[in-house]
Structure 1
Amino acid sequence: MPSYDVIILGAGGAGLMCAAIAGQRGRRVLVIDHSEEPGRKIVISGGGRCNFTNLHTAPDRYLSANRHFMKSALGRYTPQDFIALVDRHGIAWHEKTLGQLFCDGSARQIVTMLTDECAAGGVDFALGQPVGDVRHGDGRFTVTVGAAEVRAPRLVIATGGPSIPKLGASDFAYRLARQFGMKVVEPRPALVPLTLGGDDVLFRELSGVSAPVVATCNKAMFAENALFTHRGLSGPAILQVSSYWRNGDPVEIDFLPGPERDVLLSAKRERPRATGRQALGAKLPARLADVLADRLGIAGELGATTDRLLARADETLRRWRFVPNGSEGFAKAEVTVGGVSTADLSSQTLESRTVPGLHVIGEAVDVTGWLGGYNFQWAWASGWAAGMAL
């Protein structure tokens, strides 16, 4: 029966980082994954260019039942640390917006970098190998892989959450954590498009229309683009607030973001012969302006529209309430909110408080970042923290 110092379940970002660090520290490491190739989620991320970190990484950009848990790992392995690794491998990158860093070339460069780092540490891989039984006894973990069994005193769960099941994602991490007596915070889709029904169905006519907005849900507020889809709402602003949304919660959208107030009344004074459609069309895409003007009853000439109606329309446009009837679920979610409870883990080492030698890292943990490279930075940081402790 082959024996290792560490067995890592999952060859995603967190698992690869953990393996590379542990291997280069002299540990005998085996990484097991049901996929034939490592880093599949990395490859499709960022439109194939991998938004690999964010310069503005900070604990307040993460959701967790314990908002302090991620501070230790993020503080010890920073975006600058990962950038230094990327630079060392000669990977060209650029900052897009809001601190988001992308590869100039392909996301596969990040996967190659991580597997090269693993090779430098002598890491072994068992890819295309689903995990069967996992047992713990006599201070060792025994994992069944195909017809074989492997053993190690340390086991790392790095199999992520159930988002993007077409890549083979599942709730395996949660089932395994529960097997070892760990609690799981209810998982739900995050960074996911929201669906509309009822009176809001008319907005589906705008499928493909995008506009800069401020979206708010449960006090979380994001100023980015919203996109109307044939099912509801998407785009960066909506994906961001979706992490804070629960069934029945309203989402408020400010269609007129910025310091300027009384936009319609000002337009009436300056161009009374202009229509409400035209006034909104100066601020918003034409199709969206038409639908909103019709819905608010201000499509006609501004000069013939009362100041009261224009003021009310202006206020409504700044706090337009949608009540989504759902989301597009784990199939379209980029990540998962919830996961293995941080109450059961050390923030320093990501090790179980009750099962010595068992670590949980990456998306499997109840730590979820904003859109824009934050979740990858958590993968690198939590993988590094565990790797340094193995």
Structure 2
Amino acid sequence: GLLIRGSDVLERVYHLDTLILDKTGTLTTGKPVVTDVIPTQHSTSYSQESLLQLAATVESGTRHPLAVAIQQSAQAQNLPLLTAQDFLTVPGMGVAATVLMTENRMPQRVMLGTEAWLNQHEISPTESLRDRAGDLAQAGKTMIYVAIEGEVVGLIAVADGLRSDAIATVAALQAMKLDVKLLTGDRSETATAIAHTLKLKPENVFAQILPEGKAEVIAQLQAQGHRVAMVGDGINDAPALAQADVGIALHSGTDVATETAGIILMRDRVRDVVEAIHLSRATFSKIRQNLFWAFAYNILGIPLAAGVALPGYGILLSPAAAGAMMAFSSVSVVINSLLLYMTFHQQPTTLHETHSKNNSIGENMPNAGE
């Protein structure tokens, strides 16, 4: 279930000390759902249904997981899309479109996105809506503000649950003496909630990182002397995967991510990150063992075959014996390499035991999301 591109990847994995996990689609299922639709108190013109309909219309211009979640929620309520044009998508920030409103048939500019993006356009949510967003973010949900013609009219919360093996995977990586960090574009409250579920320290969380900033985070860690691996799946992760000493991508990810990564998890299981690192480390250790024994064997055998020990000890290898010893040297290397299968085959059991120990943790934590 692993595709490793080149033997040089094995050497780089062996020297890793830091591993960064992207959140969306890597630690989470990548299938977010809308949990809350909240119109502002002073906005009596927009109900939950109309707000969701507007959001689905604007998001129809993109296929981001959050956009798909909003569109599916609108479809489930049989809300038709409105007429829209002039779509704009800003990665990591939000989307906008000019929508023909049903009430007055007048086109109006609708924006969906983060609070930071709205602030860039001098649009601010009310204090009560900001407080509500903070509460939802602490539950691990992603906030999407909705603004019409420069005024915030509501908020949509989306949650993306953690993968079933995410907690066990992080625990196993930490047991391998790796410094595990979380990287996300979400606000800090959401990232902290997920980090708490994963038993990660707050200082190991990078939140509100734009797509172009992910590679910069890795570069900064490398400048401090760390050997960094990055695990991701989206097109936004490609620069970070390329910057990292080792890039690891899920097979279900975008083509750009899988083409950039040095290791691809073919079974689309985040726990295979542990197995990939374990296999790489074990393989590199076997290479070093084989080199050591090959050198030791030849340093001992070649002088004996050359007759160095004949004058003092009367020991001399015949050509047949020397040939047999040379063949046995190759056999010993092959056998030692084959033992690698037994080492790797035991790893899933170890991870399963780790998952069992952490089940009670996951059951008592909030459903962390996008």
TM-score normalised per structure 1: 0.24
Report which of the two has the higher share of helix.
Answer: 2
Higher relative contact order (CA closer than 8 Å, sequence separation 6+): 1
